[in-house]
């Protein structure tokens, strides 16, 4: 009796579920519905005649059979992605270029740049992905990445883009109520959440205002800015965010400026000769550096 043919798309479903642990998160990552994900997984398990996952109350856990085939399927994925990258590298200035970055950098720095760049290349579709997690360029989750740390994935070409200045901010109304910060007595801080507590600006703010209390935390710089604009307290923000007219914040002098961050751009080496990736990268870098 012949087994059903194996479909690479079913293996993609297997990898997504193995990495995400839940059908809902895996379906979101692949852009498929949960019923479709479930059907494809069942088709793969039937074709292989093995159960690949144990269904639990907390999600999907690899069985021993699923675990044993994981590395082989990841190798298949690497070969498939290499083919995609080479084809992308030979294409003209048409098609999609996906860019990954943080929310605030995408909104305040890349959005105006890409709006102008898109006018130069009407055949391109530029997709901007903003996530707090580090998107994998090696697995082709994006073509270009802009980060505030160096890339550690293998085979990634990276460039130093610019140094981003930060500042301490509060609203005018807040300062009228609470006065000059001094050592921080009677003041409230708005900081990054505990997952980002190791960032240099978090420690700097605590050192400059040691008697202030942390009243609010958020993992979004724009949310921090909105909290400050509403009179919640003092926050360290990237200058493009803090200086945005929409927030109406006041830049504070606390003795010296908060530590800045270096912006890095990266792409997989297989895309080095891609005309569309090269055009988007070069145009973006030129505009960012001209604006800084």
Task: Say if residue 224's pLDDT is above 60.
Answer: yes
* Boundaries of every domain in the chain: 8-80, 91-164+262-291, 166-258
Count Cα neighbours of 93 within 13 Å in the Cβ-side half-sphere. 11
Query: Running DSSP on this structure, what letter comes out for residue 272?
Result: T
CA distance 242 to 238: 6
**Are domains 8-80 and 91-164+262-291 of this chain identical in fold?**
no
Residue-wise pLDDT tens digits, 155-184: 999 999 999 999 999 999 999 999 999 999
223-243 average pLDDT score = 96
What mean pLDDT do residues 254-269 have? Answer: 93
- 166-258 belongs to CATH 3.40.50.720: no
CB atoms within 10 A of CB 246: 10
Instruction: Evaluate whether 12 touches 37 at the Cβ level (below 8 Å).
Output: no
Average predicted confidence (pLDDT) for the chain: 88
Which range among 10-14, 106-110, 194-198 has the greatest average pLDDT?
Answer: 106-110
The residue-averaged pLDDT of 193-213 equals 87
Pick the CATH number of 91-164+262-291 from 3.30.230.10, 1.10.630.10, 2.60.120.10, 3.40.190.10: 3.40.190.10
Cα separation, 83 vs 79, whole angstroms: 6
With beta carbons less than 8 A apart as the criterion, state whether 251 and 168 touch.
yes
What is the CATH T-level fold of the domain 8-80, as seen in this structure? Arc Repressor Mutant, subunit A (1.10.10)
- Predicted TM-score of the model (pTM): 0.68
């Amino acid at each position: 009796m012949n087994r059903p043919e194996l479909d690479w798309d079913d293996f993609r479903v297997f990898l997504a579920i193995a990495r995400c642990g839940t059908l809902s998160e895996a379906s979101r990552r692949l852009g498929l519905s949960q019923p479709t994900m479930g059907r494809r997984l069942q088709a793969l398990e039937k074709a292989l005649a093995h159960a690949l996952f144990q269904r639990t109350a907390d999600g999907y856990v690899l069985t021993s059979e699923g675990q044993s085939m994981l590395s082989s399927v990841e190798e298949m994925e690497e070969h498939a992605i290499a083919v995609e990258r080479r084809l992308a590298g030979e294409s003209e200035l048409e098609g999609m270029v996906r860019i990954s970055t943080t929310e605030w950098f995408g909104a305040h720095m890349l959005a105006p740049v890409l709006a102008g760049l898109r006018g130069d290349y009407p055949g391109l579709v530029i997709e901007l992905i903003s996530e707090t997690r580090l998107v994998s360029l090696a697995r082709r989750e994006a073509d270009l990445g802009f980060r505030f740390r160096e890339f550690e994935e293998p085979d990634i070409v990276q460039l130093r883009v610019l140094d981003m200045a930060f500042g301490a901010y509060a609203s005018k109304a807040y300062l009228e109520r609470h006065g000059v910060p001094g050592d921080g007595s009677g003041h409230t801080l708005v900081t990054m959440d505990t997952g980002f507590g190791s960032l240099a600006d978090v420690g700097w703010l605590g050192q400059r205002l040691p008697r202030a209390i942390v009243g609010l935390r958020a993992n979004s710089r724009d949310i921090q800015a909105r909290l400050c604009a509403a009179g919640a307290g003092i926050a360290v923000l990237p200058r493009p965010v803090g200086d945005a007219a929409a927030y109406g914040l006041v830049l504070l002098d606390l003795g010296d400026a908060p530590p800045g961050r270096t912006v890095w751009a990266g792409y997989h080496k297989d895309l080095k000769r891609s005309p569309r990736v090269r055009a988007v990268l070069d145009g973006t870098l030129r505009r960012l550096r001209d604006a800084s």
